Amino acid sequence: MAGTVQETSATSPSGDSAVRNALENAPTTHARLLAWVSEVAELTQPDDLVWVDGSEAEWSRLTDEMVEAGTLVRLAEDKFPNSFAAFSDPEDVARVEEQTFICSTEERGSGPTNNWMDPEEMKATLRGLYRGSMHGRTMYVIPFVMGSLEATEPKYGVEITDSPYVVCSMRIMATIGAAVLEKMTATDAFFVEALHSVGFPLDNGQRDVPWPCNETKYIVQFPEDRAIWSYGSGYGGNALLGKKCYALRIASAIAHDEGWLAEHMLVLKMTDPGGRVHYVSGAFPSACGKTNFAMIQPTIDGWKAEMVGDDIAWMRFDESGTLRVVNPEAGLFGVAPGTGWSTNPNAMRAVAAGNTIFTNVALTDDGGVWWEGMTDEVPAHLTDWRGRDWTPASKNPAAHPNSRFCTPIKQVDILAPEYDDPDGVPLSAIIFGGRRKTTVPLVHESFDWEHGVFEGATLSSETTAAASGAVGVVRRDPMAMLPFIGYNAGDYLAHWVKLGKAHHGKMPRIFYVNWFRRDRDGGFAWPGFGENSRVLKWIIGRLDGEAGGEQTPIGVVPRPEDLDLTGLDISEQQLADALKVDVEEWRRELPGIHQWFNVLQDSLPPEMVRQYHRLEVRLEV
Ligand SMILES: Nc1nc2c(ncn2[C@@H]2O[C@H](COP(=O)(O)OP(=O)(O)OP(=O)(O)O)[C@@H](O)[C@H]2O)c(=O)[nH]1
Ligand SMILES: O=C([O-])CC(=O)C(=O)O
Ligand SMILES: [Mn+2]
């Protein structure tokens, strides 16, 4: 390969001829792909070009090279086989929403909640940045498919990147490589163009850094072109373009055109003691508990939970009008802190099985990893995510709050066997949830579809470390999709309303949860994690007409006697704090909702205005 990752060498074949060779010997005849790859190579001027085949040998070669270059640390084989830790630039640790754009032709198409720039203007800016941006590096071409390669119309993408870390992470998160390219070529299929550069070209002989990136960052979606251009970041949703950029932003725009939904949701299969199966999905904002809920270990007797997906759900109607849901991803990119043997043993077993890339966690002295919340006992000494010595007396957390594990979904031992069924699984309930210290009770059921859409539309949550910016600020996050809607947010809500009307009587029931409410002493009112199975039991009981509840102005809320609390250690007071609907608190919510709806202006569907007024009436304001 021309130019090692660490240092470009003057003796390697000139970039031009290596790239020309790789183009001439391309493993595909897909004309549009070939044209696009050579156009990008021409623009970005890489030293070499690699067609990613997705093989084990390729993974070994790339991880070896990254260990050599200092990008990855190999973990102890007896603890985390075939696993690595990466440490990002301290300025490149999360999605950058300020620098994320939806560049539709018309500004209205992007809507008031997204950043917008004229697509031609944006392309000109980005071409300027991409010009020569891969110099001294290898350009990797990653054919991938989101969802099953056996689907009627597989959803193809091709990511071009100059980051081997992205190649290896994409290999975990999606189905990539030779088989995908072969089928895509044979059917001359459409694919989403996803271009990524870390924006750190190397001069001849210049030494590389472990985590190349650029201060200037752009994460840009062109919804009409179905194209993604990402520049300057190597991290997570900014760089693994199959995930948020494709499977949510671009896919939501496709779904709007085609009458389906691409959502930021986990999908969970619950089997009750009688063997009845229900599938439920949950839309919670980033770092608000999707992965944990998707991998729940029920604490109630006889109930079994299996995971279908932990972050993204594609939902389509079948011929009978049933809403069926598919997880388009093949891996988990999960929040590390707070994931522990007591809170999420299923995730811990999945990562301990190996084949995992950790990013920005801490290292133990014996070649393992650690993060806050992994074990009750805190190690006496660690190397923190910035490479500094760390002891329990240190004032900074050892792992970055948005540190992550990237692990193959197949390693989840509670994975439902039908998780990759191209036809998906039938959905019975949709659960919205946010992170709120006050106001929002543990669980309630909405009155009907339109009211449920209103609840999703006004979902509120305190911001987390999953995106750069302030943490702990309450913001409205419609359907947990605020940073991921690939078109106008008002049109998005109208799409939800419309689907409910078109499929009246067949839609899943809508619920709303809050695991994060505080009790009068300031602690979590509800123990959460596995105990959330009690809430699931109530939800499923509502579907089956077996669980009772109390009508309140915001929906139906369980009374303590409606919940299975067998064996749960919770005081009457805490339970009351968790379930309380305080009319005064809810009246104080109204101005915030009003303000949020004002942002949407004339694109706000009239049904949402009607629901707002009905809530006012029920709150007697
Ligand atoms: N108190 C409490 N904390 C929870 C619960 N579920 C999850 N958390 C914490 O919330 C944080 C984020 O949880 P995740 O499950 O990784 O969140 P996510 O929604 O999958 O996040 P993204 O991957 O960013 O989309 C972790 O620190 C968890 O420990 C719960 O039921 N109660
Ligand atoms: O996209 C990312 O970087 C991580 C993620 O899952 C989220 O933020 O929801
Ligand atoms: Mn997650």
Q: What is the mean pLDDT of the chain?
A: 96
- CATH fit for domain 262-331+417-618, picks 3.30.420.40, 3.90.228.20, 3.40.50.1820, 3.20.20.140: 3.90.228.20
Contact 360, 178 (CB under 8 A): no
What residues flank ion ligand 3 with Cβ within 5 A?
A: 290-291, 311, 334
Does the annotation count 213 as an active-site position? Answer: no
Nearest CA to ligand 1 atom 27: 338
What separation in Å is there between the alpha carbon of 346 and the centre of ligand 1?
Answer: 14
Pairing of strands 369-370, 362-364: antiparallel
ipTM of the complex: 0.98
Q: Which two tokens stand for residue 63?
A: 């991880």
How far apart (Å, rounded) are the C-alpha atoms in residues 563 and 557?
10
For residue 162, which amino acid is it?
Answer: D
pLDDT at 11 over 80: no
- Residue 16 confidence (pLDDT): 86
Tell whether ligand 1 has an atom less than 6 A from the beta carbon of residue 287.
yes
What is the maximum alpha-carbon separation in the chain? Answer: 79
Do 143 and 26 form a contact (C-beta atoms < 8 A)?
A: no
Residues linked to residue 261 through DSSP beta bridges, in sequence order:
315
Catalytic residue among 103, 168, 288, 406: 288
pLDDT of 6 > 90? The answer is no
Q: Report the C-alpha gap between 43 and 39 in whole angstroms.
A: 6
* Residues 154, 483: Cα–Cα separation, whole Å: 25
pTM of the model: 0.96
CATH fold of 15-259 reads Phosphoenolpyruvate Carboxykinase; domain 1 (3.40.449)
Share of the chain above pLDDT 90, in %: 97
619 Cα: distance to centroid of ligand 2 (angstroms): 36
Structural contact between residues 619 and 589, judged by C-beta atoms closer than 8 angstroms: no
What residue segments make up the domains of the chain, in order of their start? 15-259, 262-331+417-618
Binding-site residues, ligand 2, Cβ < 6 A? 95, 236-237, 243-244, 286, 311, 333, 466
343 lines ligand 1 (CB under 6 A): yes
For the segment 116-162, what is each residue's pLDDT rounded down to a tens digit?
Answer: 999 999 999 999 999 999 999 999 999 999 999 999 999 999 999 99
* pLDDT band (50, 70, 90) for residue 14: low
What percentage of residues in the chain have a pLDDT greater than 70? 98
CA of 264 to the centre of ligand 3 (A): 10
Which amino acid makes up residue 392? P
Tell me what pLDDT residue 4 has: 42
Q: Which ligand is nearest to the CA of 519?
A: 1
pLDDT-derived band at 484, boundaries 50, 70, 90: very high
- Tens digits of residue pLDDT in 355-395: 999 999 999 999 999 999 999 999 999 999 999 999 999 99
Show the tokens assigned to 601: 């202006």
pLDDT at 5 over 60: no
Quote the crossing angle between the two packed helices 31-44 and 119-130, to the nearest 10°. Answer: 60
Residue 141 tokens, joined: 């071409």
Predicted local distance difference test score (pLDDT) of residue 2? 39
